[in-house]
Amino acid sequence: MTCRICGARATAWKGRDDVTLYLCGCCGFVSGQASSYVPADERYEGYYRQPVPPAPAGRYGEWLARAEAEVGSGRLLEVGAGSGGFVRAALARGWKVDATEVSDSGLEMLRETGARVFAGDVEAAQYPEGVFDLVVSLEVLEHLPAPLRHLQELWRITRPGGLLLVTTPNFNGLSRWWLGIQWRVIDAEHLGYFTPITLSEALHQVGYKRVRVKSRSLDVLSWRRGTRVTGGGVFDPHASAELRDTVEASKALRVGKTVVNAFLGLAGVGDSLLAWAQR
């Protein structure tokens, strides 16, 4: 297949019954291709029909405080805003917030926040150039058939000097190295898998300056399950939120988490990538 980042030839590398991974010999990006095609509107339709776990308010507050130190509390866009956890955190801190979402179930909750909501992809919204002080894309890139085009659009609508915040799974994370093709992140709905290098290069390629990419966190629930689960397993957001709250409630666990994240960041092997980029 064609690499979703650079357009070079990518060859089949590893696979399961439901998904095949293709490795680009030119840029090193890994693309995913599901065995059966499901339209995006059907794939994400039921995402938010079930009870939504509480948002990581502390983490969102830290990210917003960092952005405010550089650009103030201006105009913010969250792309693929889901049920609105980040949107609510930003509104509470005085940001003017726009949001996009493709899932009908997510749109219902987003509209309740009071943010200006667009139903559809960010490209279809046709926002003016350079209108946002901060653009946020959390766990979106891995779902897109054309991630570079998506990043180009985010660059276009970010004002000069404004910021982009991106998170996406790290294909070079410890969990992928240990669990391989059975890691839950390897999923038929995920079309692209970034590493610190490929994400940094993609952000620079579309025009961002002062790009800072680091890895963080460990997929503890997948490690508990181990390699006995085939087909990637199923992510339980409520179990993940419960584990997060348990850690936050314990000073010793918080210190341990800080130490672990420091190591993961230095080694580049955390399971999640967090990127800041300035236009």
What is the pLDDT averaged over residues 249-253?
62
Tell me if 227 is assigned to some domain. yes
For residue 19, tell me if it sits in a domain: no
Give percent of the chain above pLDDT 70. 79
Q: What is the mean pLDDT of residues 44-51?
A: 60
Could you tell me if residue 230 is inside a domain? Answer: yes
pLDDT of residue 213: 97
Q: What is the mean pLDDT of residues 130-134?
A: 98
CB 169 within 8 A of CB 217: no
Residue 2 has pLDDT above 70, yes or no: yes
Query: What pLDDT is recorded for position 238?
Result: 43
What pLDDT score does 248 carry? 59
How high is the pLDDT of residue 245?
A: 56
Where residue 178 falls among pLDDT bands split at 50, 70, 90? very high
Q: State mean pLDDT over 30-59.
A: 73
Tell whether 14 is covered by a domain: no
Whether the pLDDT of residue 276 is over 70: the answer is: yes
Q: Based on the structure, what is the number of domains in the chain?
A: 1
Q: 39 vs 218, which has greater pLDDT? A: 218
Query: Is there a domain that residue 16 lies in?
Result: no
Which is more confident, 248 or 166? 166
The answer as to whether 138 is a domain residue is: yes
Residue 55 is part of which domain span?
38-278
pLDDT of the residue at 223: 65
% pLDDT > 90, the chain: 71
Question: Which pLDDT score, from 0 to 100, does residue 250 have?
Answer: 63
> What CATH number has the domain bearing residue 45?
3.40.50.150
Per-chain mean pLDDT for the chain: 87
pLDDT in tens, 195-239: 999 999 999 999 999 999 999 988 877 766 655 455 555 555 545
Identify whether 2 is part of a domain. Answer: no
